[in-house]
A and B are shown apart, each in its own frame.
Chain A
């Protein structure tokens, strides 16, 4: 399962997908399902039309864990825009996710 979910196809503007996000999980655990749901919601609210989510299941592709220095799961990696950011956990603390993605100032 290394699918790309592209939610920006129907967006009106041809704006480049500035946010490339990769969500690492290990199988469909409650935490990973929750993380994906949280992520989709946040993206729809704040990055509509400007993001791309790639989900990597490490149970299927364990060799990919080393490259992004994945340790905790779930981990969301913001690959673009640079610099690379890492956000760990089920993404239920929305404010922190936004801070992690640089969409909101750290308070």
Chain B
């Protein structure tokens, strides 16, 4: 919390430092506006960490979004290879070159073809770069990967002196430059380029853990500017690079007073008759078969009836299964799907790493712009990552949804009736509202109960209420009935309740 405030203050203070937006989702937020304008930024990382793509995205976005022309000087691949690498992302480099918005110069150095016979400098490189910059009126330059020169030329001393001169020259030219560098042992880059580029350094990391790959980005240094210092997950997918979270920099969520129906009148009644706050996060926890998904389905149905878009992430069932099951209790969601108001996204949690799930969700939320989301069940994500990772991921996701003022219902599977899952307790602090569902088979009767464990900022019922699942969905017993008719349920959850009291 403290940190967020500091960053907000810092954002104001560093507003004067001119920045060049990358147009990469998340990166501009972390750097509070982009890369230092007119200065070089070093982007380093191991092979396949996305350095080149980051550079290219910076260039292409420069042209397409910010009207700044660019120069790519590539030392490893020729123009055709680079173009075909990024064609799948929708980057049409040949077209940008044809329309003189982008210039690509492939610098090829082959040590075996060169005889060194005395003093030389790299003025030829300067001439080429200068020519390319002038030919398109470039404001952005990417050098990828200039360290290749060390393999091509023998005289390290000359090379280092010339690189130092080059970076100074680029600064004098006032072009915003991205210099990529291969990650080295014990230093950021193999050739210690970080010594020469002191304005900003971004480190990309690509790890594979339990066969799940995770990409992370960290701003190691940013002279004259505050920046997020954490490692941020980033993703390379069909739409290019994005860095998450987009929203982590500000905890200034709006806190709307607007209330929306949960879709079950008596449940609304338990929240003072008005339902949930819009933009709040609701946890629905309970054992298997307690009706968590059904409760969420009521909420989806009600939201669609209001004409609001709903996005539902399924981590267990397929959309077809869910639609069928809900129809059996009288909730027909299919028309909403057909109307385009309700969209499902089903994924096996184990299919990707958490970062990918998180990123996919961000992407879908950005595309579909829902008013309401449901995640069913979040506990299934526990199979993918460590406890801390899942917690961190959900924190980021919820944070993002709140920023977007999206109301979220998360269901959580509690294995036993009295045991409170670690997931629940760990994420409960993120939740504005927590509804607990429970089953009870005492006395040969299968009975269901629910109660509101907490609900921030509103008066709510503390009662345990019995309900039945009918062919028209949830039927919650009238006020006070639960005490009389479902003592067993009350008993079964009492332990859990005591433990929750501290929350």
Contacts and interface: CB of A to CB of B under 8 A. Distances in A.
B and A form one assembly: yes
A31 B113 CA distance: 21
Nearest to A93: B117
A85 interface: yes
Nearest to B121: A73
A72 B107 contact: no
A92 B114 contact: no
A72 B109 CA distance: 10
B119 A66 contact: no
5 contacts: A26-B127, A65-B124, A72-B121, A86-B114, A90-B120
Interface string B114-131: 111111111111011011
Contacts of A90: 117-120
A69 B109 contact: yes
Shortest Cβ-Cβ A-B pairs, 9 listed: A100-B115, A89-B118, A62-B131, A90-B118, A92-B118, A70-B124, A89-B117, A73-B123, A96-B117
Given A63-B131, A69-B107, A86-B113, A75 B118 contact: no
Interface string A71-101: 1111100000000011111111100110110
A58 interface: yes
Contacts of B113: 85-86
A31 B121 contact: yes
A99 B112 CA distance: 13
Given A73-B122, A73-B123, A88 B115 contact: yes
A59 interface: yes
Given A65-B131, A69-B108, A71-B125, A31 B117 contact: no
Interface residues of A, number: 32
Interface in B451-490: none
A86 to B, nearest CB: 5
Contact of A72 (B105, B130, B131, B153): B153
With a 10 A CB-CB cut-off, give which of B109, B116, B117, B125 has the most chain A CB atoms: B117
B124 A87 contact: no
B124 A75 contact: yes
B122 A91 contact: no
A100 B130 CA distance: 29
Given A69-B108, A71-B107, A72-B153, A26 B124 contact: yes
Interface of A: 24, 26, 31, 34-35, 38, 58-59, 62-63, 65-66, 69-75, 85-93, 96-97, 99-100
Given A62-B130, A63-B131, A65-B131, A71 B115 contact: no
Contacts of B119: 31, 89-90, 92
Contacts of A35: 118
B481 to A, nearest CB: 84
Nearest to A38: B118
Contacts of A66: 105, 128, 131
Contacts of B118: 34-35, 38, 89-93
A88 B131 contact: no
Contacts of B121: 31, 72-73
A70 B117 contact: no
A88 B109 CA distance: 12
A91 B117 contact: yes
Contacts of A63: 131
B117 A71 contact: no
A35 B121 CA distance: 13
A87 B128 contact: no
Nearest to A90: B118
A74 B128 CA distance: 14
Nearest to A92: B118
B117 A58 contact: no
B126 to A, nearest CB: 8
Nearest to A96: B117
Contacts of A75: 120, 124
Given A69-B109, A72-B153, A58 B115 contact: no
Contacts of B127: 26, 58-59, 62, 65, 70, 73
A31 B118 CA distance: 9
Contacts of A58: 123-124, 127
Contacts of B107: 69, 71
Nearest to A84: B113
A21 to B, nearest CB: 13
